[in-house]
């Protein structure tokens, strides 16, 4: 075997073995990369340089601001106002509590940008609300976890920022276009979940409660609008060219701080150090992943692994439909084993060249990848949202995993729609840009 082949096996083999041994992913990447540098006789200082250069990005500054914005809004009391607005909007429908769950996650996701934050913040309220309307705890928890994935699709999402950074070595991806493109996929996922919730509610004969009241709906909207304006700072600011992504994120943080302190009064000045401590903890995990992935990505490129995979795929078949299925299976499988930010950084340089050879947009891949890996957040053995759902509901992970099967199928339908019918969401960024 050639040196490149042995180095490829060493890099991927050591990484996978360490992951299956439950070594933290960041250490698995670092150790596998360092061993490969030594094997290839590349100066290990190159690894340090790649670590630093991957963090030397102005766009990356937006990530801590988005995380801080989500923490401020979560602590600021916006949860109650969003659920109240969602109740007025869809709570009168068949399966009203389930519909509220889905819609509230759509709104809250645009603020938190995180599936885990959505599940942890809204989950206790939504599960109790659904149980009071007659749903069992397992279904309520599963729907809460599934709907929380909307949070990583609806902008602003730090995972989309990470995707643009990971794609930079292949092509330039507009974060503004990616943000705009995220709204419709979030809506598609919401619709399929609402359809399944309607079917389940009718099957279980869940009673219809309440009637639509336009006056109360408008009143609830104006209570919730203060929090949702933080999202408008980011999305509208970037689209209109008023702010860069980083500047808009910083402006949204200032707004979120004022809303939380003076309008919703969900926290006080003495709570701010604790909020910042949570942000630093989360940010530390993200930044170290970004750093070590720089060295890992360098080795992937140096060993021409993306080219090898592309050549292998196209030698099996040139059928676009089959290749897309295989790429989705790859992302879904790895999403069950490795956390999201890390996979975005690892897979984007590999899959994006293949995706573009198929004549598809990088924006399209960003959406499909985020949803694929979002489903991975709900699957054992490492799904963080699955663990949170288990913690807040008191239901064992094994039980939840079994009960999630209909939701996995429902979300897979949404994934296929977005994969094979990109016009369902690409029309919006194409229209605005």
Average pLDDT over residues 129-157: 90
CA distance 28 to 11: 10
Per DSSP, the residues of 31-84 read HHHHHHHHHTT--THHHHHHHHHHH--TGGGHHHHHHHHHHHHHHTTHHHHHHH
Residues above pLDDT 90, as percent of the chain = 24
Give per-residue pLDDT as tens, 167-205.
887 888 888 888 889 999 999 999 999 999 999 999 988
Q: Are 311 and 48 in contact (CB under 8 A)?
A: no
pLDDT score, position 382: 67
Give per-residue pLDDT as tens, 51-77.
777 777 776 777 788 888 878 877 877
Tokens 């096996």, residue located:
9
Average pLDDT, the chain: 85
Q: Which of 163, 217, 106 is closest to 364 using CA atoms?
A: 163
Buried b (16+ CB within 10 A) or exposed e, 153-188: bbbbbbbbbbbbbbbeebeebbbbbbbbbbbbbbbb
User: Which DSSP letter does residue 208 get?
Assistant: P
pLDDT score, position 110: 66
Give per-residue pLDDT as tens, 96-115.
889 999 998 888 776 667 78
pLDDT score, position 381: 66
Question: Can you give the pTM of this predicted structure?
Answer: 0.83
Give per-residue pLDDT as tens, 110-125.
666 778 777 877 888 8
Give per-residue pLDDT as tens, 256-304.
888 888 888 888 889 889 888 888 887 887 788 778 877 887 887 788 7
For residue 349, is pLDDT > 70? yes
Average pLDDT over residues 89-94: 87
Give per-residue pLDDT as tens, 180-189.
899 999 999 9
Please calculate the CA angle 264-266-268 and round it to the nearest 5 degrees.
115
Q: Which of 135, 130, 193, 165 is closest to 375 using CA atoms?
A: 193
For residue 46, is pLDDT > 70? yes
Q: Which of 352, 349, 354 is closest to 300 using CA atoms?
A: 349
pLDDT score, position 67: 81
């Amino acid at each position: 075997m050639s040196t490149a082949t042995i180095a490829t096996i060493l890099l991927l083999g050591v990484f996978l073995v360490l992951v299956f041994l439950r070594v933290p992913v960041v250490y698995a990447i670092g150790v596998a990369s360092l061993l490969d540098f030594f094997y290839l006789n590349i100066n290990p200082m190159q690894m340090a340089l790649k670590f630093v250069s991957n963090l030397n990005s102005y766009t990356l500054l937006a990530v801590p601001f988005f995380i801080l914005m989500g923490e401020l809004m979560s602590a600021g009391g916006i949860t109650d106002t969003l659920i109240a607005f969602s109740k007025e909007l869809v709570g009168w429908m068949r399966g009203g509590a389930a519909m509220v769950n889905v819609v509230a996650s759509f709104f809250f996701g645009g603020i938190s940008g995180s599936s885990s934050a959505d599940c942890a913040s809204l989950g206790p309220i939504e599960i109790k609300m659904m149980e009071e309307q007659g749903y069992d705890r397992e279904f309520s928890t599963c729907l809460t976890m599934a709907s929380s994935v909307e949070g990583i699709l609806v902008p602003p999402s730090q995972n989309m920022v990470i995707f643009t950074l990971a794609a930079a070595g292949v092509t330039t991806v507009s974060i503004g276009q990616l943000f705009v493109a995220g709204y419709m996929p979030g809506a598609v996922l919401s619709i399929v979940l609402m359809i399944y919730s309607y079917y389940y509610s009718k099957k279980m004969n869940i009673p219809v409660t309440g009637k639509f009241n336009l006056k109360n709906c408008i009143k609830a909207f104006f209570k919730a609008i203060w929090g949702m304006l933080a999202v408008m700072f980011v999305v509208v600011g970037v689209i209109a060219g008023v702010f860069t992504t980083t500047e808009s994120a910083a402006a949204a943080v200032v707004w979120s701080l004022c809303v939380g302190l003076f309008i919703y009064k969900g926290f006080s000045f003495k709570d701010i150090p604790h909020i910042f401590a949570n942000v630093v903890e989360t940010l530390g995990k993200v930044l170290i992943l970004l750093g070590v992935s720089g060295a890992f990505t360098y080795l992937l490129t140096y060993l021409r692994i993306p080219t090898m995979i592309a050549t292998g795929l196209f030698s099996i078949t040139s059928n676009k439909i089959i290749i897309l299925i295989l790429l989705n299976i790859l992302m879904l499988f790895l999403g069950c084993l490795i956390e999201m930010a890390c996979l975005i950084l690892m897979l984007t340089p590999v899959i994006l060249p293949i995706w573009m050879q198929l004549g598809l947009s990088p924006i399209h891949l960003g959406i499909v990848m985020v949803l694929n890996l979002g489903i991975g957040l709900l699957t054992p053995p490492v799904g963080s949202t699955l663990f949170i759902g288990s913690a807040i509901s008191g239901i064992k992970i094994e039980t939840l995993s079994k009960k999630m099967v209909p939701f996995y199928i429902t979300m897979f339908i949404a994934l296929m729609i977005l994969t094979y019918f990109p016009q369902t969401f690409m029309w919006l960024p194409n229209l605005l840009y």
